[in-house]
Amino acid sequence: MKPSQFNIFIHLGDGRKLAFNSSTAALAEIDPDKYPVIEKILASPSQLDSDEEKELAHQLRLGKFLIEDETDEIAQLKVSNRMQRFGRDAFSLTVAPTLACNFKCDYCFESQEKITMNEDTEKALLNFSERYLKRSESLVLAWFGGEPTLCLPTIERLQKGFQELSSKHGVFFRSSSIVTNGYLLDKKMSERLRKLGIKEAQVTLDGPEKVHDSRRKLHSGKGTFGRIIDNLKDSSKILSILIRVNLDKENVDSGYEVVKILEKEGILPWVNLYFAQVSSSEGVCADLKDRCLSGQEFSSKVVELYEKLLQRNFNKIIYPVLSAGGFCGADSAFSFVVSPAGDLFKCWEEISSDRDNSVGNIFTSELEPYQKKNLNMYLSWDPFEKSECLSCNILPLCMGGCPHYGIKNGTKERGDCLPWKYNLKEMLWLKYLCEGNKGKEVRI
């Protein structure tokens, strides 16, 4: 036996420690009197001199803190990664029925052109999808934009079309999701979406009313916060709502206020929430670079936010999730983002009427040379070719991070590191404090 490359130990004080393994996401609290014994076991796994050491070694094996000598963890991770990225089990689509939006957010990466999917494109999309569904086991469908709720009839027709195709080919159609600004997501809209099989929605709030309305307003300049809050009171009881709070240098302290407001309005128990980093893109928000937090700055601010929220008994501390298949579907062979005109992209941030970043089109199986180049760029993205990624003890949680930013900003040695790179120990400590005894998956 040998210790895993992905073991991480966190000092709690008074001799107590947490042990985390990033290949299994197993978390264990270690009692002070047990840690010296565990150190001995990990240093010399073949020398177990007592029943206590044998039992502790058994517990360590369960969490993969201790593995077989012959185990090549990197090879196993690489196989899992390849199977998920290039396997045909799931066909994943993110569909933007329009690029138009009723908001004018200052950091939006889209051009917001008034382009809407027509019926010919809808039919072509279903025909394109059927070719993949014939050889897939499941369909993952997300709605995006622009603002997708502006095109509800299109969503209704396509959602029903995908349901019929899935039934025809015996494909498991998972519940769909939608990314929406929430302005039109009232009770009636939420009920219509749920009836269609769209059960999850992501809505963005960027701070209390004054802050949010300065960043996420209508084209007229009118604020949107009050109406979104009113909508959430109903929609959060119909759909599974995820609140996203975008943070940059200008609103970094606003996340705390959002939680207070959601709590006051009785919404907080019904939703989940996470903080997201505003990043400068090549598009219309490229001039926001000076406003953006670095990865390390963002990671530190998130810890500060959760520490403050924990004092209010906020218990929804995020926990690391394994991502052996990659950060997202951008580098997967059977995952696409579809524009209203039928162009295919790999990344949400590249979707537009400009085809320069496209990897195909639903109307034809023929690829232009530049589309082949773009497709190969994403499908050849490989964190296992990067020395710092290979030696990183959180590789299973990150897998090189975002392929889009990894290709754009990464180096030969590393990809686009996730916040876990900088704040994993602090976030696990907060999760431990939050959950108390209930959070202990294993006690050693």
In a domain, 277, yes or no: no
CB 60 within 8 A of CB 442: no
Mean pLDDT confidence for 229-252: 95
* Pairing assessment for the beta strands 16-21 and 26-30 based on DSSP bridges: antiparallel
Q: Give whole-number Cα distances, 152 to 143, 156, 228, in Å.
A: 11, 6, 18
Q: Give whole-number Cα distances, 429 to 58, 282, 433, in Å.
A: 25, 36, 6
Mean pLDDT confidence for 210-225: 92
CB 40 within 8 A of CB 49: no
pLDDT in tens, 8-43: 999 887 788 999 999 999 998 888 888 889 999 999
In a domain, 15, yes or no: yes
CB 393 within 8 A of CB 421: no
In a domain, 129, yes or no: no
| pLDDT band (50, 70, 90) for residue 97 | very high
In a domain, 332, yes or no: no
CA atoms of 358 and 220, how far apart (whole Å)? 32
Residue 278 has what pLDDT?
A: 83
Q: At what angle do helices 187-196 and 152-168 cross, to 10 degrees?
A: 20
Q: How many domains does the chain have?
A: 1
Q: Which domain holds residue 62?
A: 2-71
| pLDDT band (50, 70, 90) for residue 284 | very low
Mean pLDDT confidence for 418-433: 93
In a domain, 27, yes or no: yes
| pLDDT band (50, 70, 90) for residue 436 | low
Q: In terms of DSSP H, where are the helices of 89-197?
A: 119-133, 152-168, 187-196
Please indicate, yes or no, whether the overall pTM of this predicted structure exceeds 0.95: no
| pLDDT band (50, 70, 90) for residue 289 | low
In a domain, 62, yes or no: yes
In a domain, 330, yes or no: no
CA atoms of 349 and 345, how far apart (whole Å)? 9
Tell me which of 9-13, 118-122, 133-137 is least confident: 9-13
CB 332 within 8 A of CB 132: no
CB 400 within 8 A of CB 389: yes
In a domain, 331, yes or no: no
